[in-house]
A and B are shown apart, each in its own frame.
Chain A
């Protein structure tokens, strides 16, 4: 018979194995995508699927000439970073004033901002599409940047707000007593004190814009299409393309995956609007 202690450590070991099994199963599609990206098209299509093969980098070199990868990647970069920068410029002052100069309307304003996020995009697809058509903003990076800024602004404000809320008011008041201006107060005191939180706000905004698909697919064609749209164009099969699809997908996903890993803990706050910390 096992002693209680032995039984407990056996359970722990079994649970650990189970956890690893579940994690590997859930990660498998990503692993398989990355693996396939190093196969030749013939190997990628082989039945049964090959686990061992001679790796090749040809898909990565082909991807750019075949589908102009860099053009789409640049669109993604411009639109994600553009919307995140504009969003932060709007969100930081808003969150600052709501966190440190609270009025009786602050809570209602915050909740109202959250409620704009609840508006389903299909509900406003038609008017936005027609407005964009009239203003010749269809298939432009500016148009997409504006949309991404607006859909992520509530989340950025909420996240920044919850981080600012944790800074004691006295610190800012002390800076004010020293005679610093509002700008100096924000730039020299507030931002350095909350840089971790703001960094994860930026990362979340980047992740959300990078992966956004609804507006990208509906408002862009070829000029301003980001990576989500490029990959969607692989949905009509043409000969052997599994390995190339995997290579494009790996390239498009890798940076965001790394951002996500870095900031997983802090992202929860933004994703749950501060309800889970």
Chain B
């Protein structure tokens, strides 16, 4: 008890004399630098070394099958990558995939999180069930969907189709991109629900109640109170999903392998096949840089929103 009082006094004294304690703050700054620097150094290495190698490789001819022919070729790799048959397909599929999954997860994410924010029996269990798919590893997700649910003969979907007298669909050969969109949405919808549900819990209840007493209907409540409150979490969901979905790989790798043809090849899969299947390091690096630029566009906005939340706190 006594020490505590002493401490409080000590703090007060320290705060009073803070401006004169130049030595202490200098020492603090030194310790602080020392403790951050390992992380900063590692992340700097992680970013600078491979990225500059990618830039270098993208400017030379470099195929692992033909070693020794590594002359400078300027932007030739970029020209080849962009004019490659797979590029247009890869870009279109990437944009379709990212766009559709974002639309599905945000729209249903908002609806479902509003629904489970109401009071009903078993709310806790419902939440746990809803967020579960997010914790399933992508390869499990892909194979369970492919073999147990979407299989044209013994899958659950085929049974449902047959129950209604329809011809079962061979999902991955008839609607390959749609199937991928479906399984990826299933995985990422819980992410949107998790974030939006948490955001809704911090909605000002008193304000809601006051507005209701003033005669505001449910639609007016949503539009004037809930919607503005959800704007930032939705922006965060959109940007984080964009960054991850641009690099979507495992789901495609384990289900369709990019096919049939280029129908499910996205940018990430195209680069992978250039690099590790055709051994064209130069071409793959050029593609990699294009992916980096695309991700940077999304990242630019994300960093701004998150940065704003840093200043909000202080």
**Interface assignment of A164: CB less than 8 Å from any CB of chain B:** no
Q: Which residues of B contact A173 (CB under 8 A)?
A: 11, 14
Residue in B36, B143, B155 whose beta carbon sits within 8 Å of that of A109 in the complex? B36
Asked whether B246 lies within 8 Å of A120 as measured between CB atoms, the reply is: yes
Asked whether B198 lies within 8 Å of A276 as measured between CB atoms, the reply is: yes
**Interface assignment of A113: CB less than 8 Å from any CB of chain B:** yes
Residue in B38, B243, B267 whose beta carbon sits within 8 Å of that of A122 in the complex? B267
- Chain B, interface residues (CB within 8 Å), range: 35 or more
Asked whether A150 lies within 8 Å of B43 as measured between CB atoms, the reply is: yes
| Segment touching B, from A54-62, A63-71, A191-199, A245-253 | A245-253
Number of A-B contacts (CB under 8 A): 335
Q: Interface readout for B1-32 with A: 1 if CB under 8 Å, 0 if not?
A: 00110011011001000000000000011011
Asked whether B159 lies within 8 Å of A49 as measured between CB atoms, the reply is: yes
Residue in B3, B115, B137, B285 whose beta carbon sits within 8 Å of that of A231 in the complex? B137
Asked whether A232 lies within 8 Å of B11 as measured between CB atoms, the reply is: no
Q: Given the complex of chains A and B, what is the CA–CA distance between A27 and B292 in angstroms?
A: 34
Residue in B40, B42, B155, B250 whose beta carbon sits within 8 Å of that of A214 in the complex? B250
Q: Which residues of B contact A125 (CB under 8 A)?
A: 271-272, 275-276, 284, 288
Q: Given the complex of chains A and B, what is the CA–CA distance between A242 and B233 in angstroms?
A: 39
Residue in A26, A124, A213 whose beta carbon sits within 8 Å of that of B133 in the complex? A26
**Given the known A-B contacts A19-B120, A103-B32, A174-B11, are A32 and B149 also in contact in the complex, defined by CB atoms under 8 Å?**
yes
CB within 8 Å of B: which A1-48 residues? 12-13, 15-16, 18-20, 22-24, 26-27, 29-30, 32-33, 36, 44-48
Partner-B contacts on A (CB < 8 A): 12-13, 15-16, 18-20, 22-24, 26-27, 29-30, 32-33, 36, 44-49, 90-91, 93-94, 96-98, 101, 103, 107, 109-111, 113-131, 150, 153-154, 157, 165, 170, 173-174, 177-178, 182, 207, 210-211, 213-214, 217-218, 227-229, 231-232, 234-235, 237, 242, 245-246, 249, 252-253, 256-257, 259-261, 264-265, 267-268, 271-277
Pick 8 A–B contacts, CB within 8 A, sort by A. A24-B129, A107-B310, A116-B43, A125-B272, A207-B135, A260-B132, A274-B306, A275-B232
